[in-house]
Amino acid sequence: MTDATPGDRPLLRVVDLVKHFPVGRGSLRPGAAAVHAVDGVTFDVARGETLGLVGESGCGKSTTGRTILQLYEPTSGHVFLDGVDLVALDRRQLRAARRKMQMIFQDPFASLNPRMTVGEIVGDPLRVHRVFSTGRQVEDEVRRLLALVRLDPSYSNRYPHEFSGGQRQRIGVARALALQPQLVVCDEPISSLDVSIQAQVVNLLVELQRELHLTYLFIAHDLSMVRHVCDRVAVMYLGVIVELAPTHTLYTGPRHPYTQALLASVPIPDPVAEENRTRAVLTGEIPSPVHPPSGCRFRTRCPIAKPICAEQVPAWREASPGHHVACHFA
C-alpha cells in the first residue's frame, strides 16, 4: 500500500501520452494510416503506490508501459519521472535515468538469455552501468539479490532452463532490482505462470515493495489479483483510459459500462451467488485501432449508448473524490 501523503510530488506523471505505429512501410506521415495504440493517456503514480492498469488484450496496456520507460519513442506527450521529463532527454541522459526505472516482463523464459548463467543475467545491469569496480563485488551483489527474491545464492551458476516458471520470474525480478530502481513496471508478471504459484510471486512483489519502498505500475488483465495488489486502478479501452479510482471504490461502485462488464466477468467463489448474479455481457468485437470509433470509443459495444456518444468525446470528469470517469451517462 502507498505511504505517500497528500501534496507529495508524484514519482511518475504521464501527460497526454500518445503512441502510434505506422501501418505498412515508410515513416509515419501526417494523415497516414496508423495503429492508435495509446491515444492521450494521463495519470499520476505516487511514491510507494501501486497503480493497476487493466483492460482486454490489445487495449494498449503494455505499449503504455513500454512507452513510459522509453522503450518505444512516444509520438507525443510527456513522461515525468521524479520531475524530469524523460521525453526531453538525450541518449546519454536517458541512459542515466534508466537506473531509476525497470520492467518485469510477462514471459520469464523469453526475457532471459538461455546462453547466460543466472549470475550473468542478474549482474548484467551492474556491469553495463559500472556500479562496481571489481568482478567480486558484482558476484557478491548478485548473491544478495538472489537471496532478496528468496532464491538460493548458489544458483548463480545455473542456466534459465534449469528453473521452474516461478523461479525464472524471481530471477527476472532480481535483475530488475539490481540498479535499485524507484519505479518498476510489472507487465503482466504472473499471466504466464501456473495458478498455484501466481500468489507466491505476487506476495514477493508486495514484500519487496515494503522493504525497498518501490513504486509499481502493475499491468494485468486478472482483475481478481489486481484487487489485492493495487491502491488504485485505471481501466483502459482501445488506447484511452475510461475510468480511474481507488481500488475499493472501483470494485464496489464502477461507473463506466466497460468497467462494469469487466468486473461482471470475474468469477465469484460462492457457487450460488455466481449462478444467480446478473452479468453485463459485452457484445461485438473490439474496433480496429487503426480506425477507432468517433466520439466514445466504447460506444459500438456499449449497452447504454446514445447518439451523443458518436458525436462527442466524453469529458474526463471527477464523479466523486478520487474517482474519474469518461462517460456521458456514468
Output DSSP code: residue 6: T
Query: Is residue 309 a part of any domain in this protein?
Result: no
The domain of 54 spans 12-253
pLDDT greater than 70 at residue 28: no
d(CA 107, CA 111): 6
**Residue 131, in any domain of the structure:** yes
Q: Is the pLDDT of residue 279 over 80?
A: no
Is 327 domain-assigned? no
Which of 159, 63, 171 is closest to 115 using CA atoms? 159
Q: Half-sphere exposure of 8 toward its Cβ, with a 13 Å CA cutoff? A: 15
Q: 73 in a domain, yes or no?
A: yes
For residues 87-107, give the mean pLDDT. 92
pLDDT at 31: 62
Rounded average pLDDT over 36-55: 96
The bridge status of strand 215-220 relative to strand 183-187 is parallel
Q: What percent of the chain has pLDDT over 90?
A: 74
Flag whether 30 is in a domain.
Answer: yes
Query: So what's the pLDDT on residue 156?
Result: 94
pLDDT at 300 over 70: yes
Q: Rounded distance, CA 236 to CA 41, Å?
A: 9
Cα gap 211→10, rounded to integer Å: 20
How would DSSP label each residue in 99-122?
GGEEEE-S-TTTTS-TTS-HHHHH
Residue 268 has pLDDT above 70, yes or no: no
Q: What is the CATH number of the domain that holds 191?
A: 3.40.50.300
- Residue at 193 is within a domain: yes
Q: What is the mean pLDDT of the chain?
A: 90
Quick check: is 138 in a domain?
Answer: yes
326 domain-assigned: no
- With a cut of 60, say whether residue 10 has pLDDT above it: yes
Sign of CA dihedral 244, 266, 205, 128: negative
What one-character DSSP code corresponds to residue 157?
Answer: G
pLDDT of 3 reads: 47
Judged by phi (left if over 0) then psi (alpha if -120 to 50, else beta), residue 40 lies in left
Examine the pLDDT at 191 and tell me if it is beyond 90.
Answer: no
Closest CA to 175 of 200, 206, 151, 203: 151
Phi (first) and psi of residue 306, to 5 degrees: -125, 170
Indicate if the pLDDT at residue 26 is higher than 60. Answer: no
For residue 2, pLDDT beyond 80: no
Kind plus residue range of the DSSP H or E element containing 198: helix 195-212
| Average pLDDT score over residue span 204-220 | 96
First-to-last C-alpha distance (Å) of the chain: 28
12-22 and 76-81 strand pairing: antiparallel
* 133-147, 152-166, 257-271, 316-330: segment of lowest average pLDDT: 257-271
Domain total of the chain = 1
pLDDT at position 222 is 80
Give dist(CA 55, CA 221) in Å, integer: 6
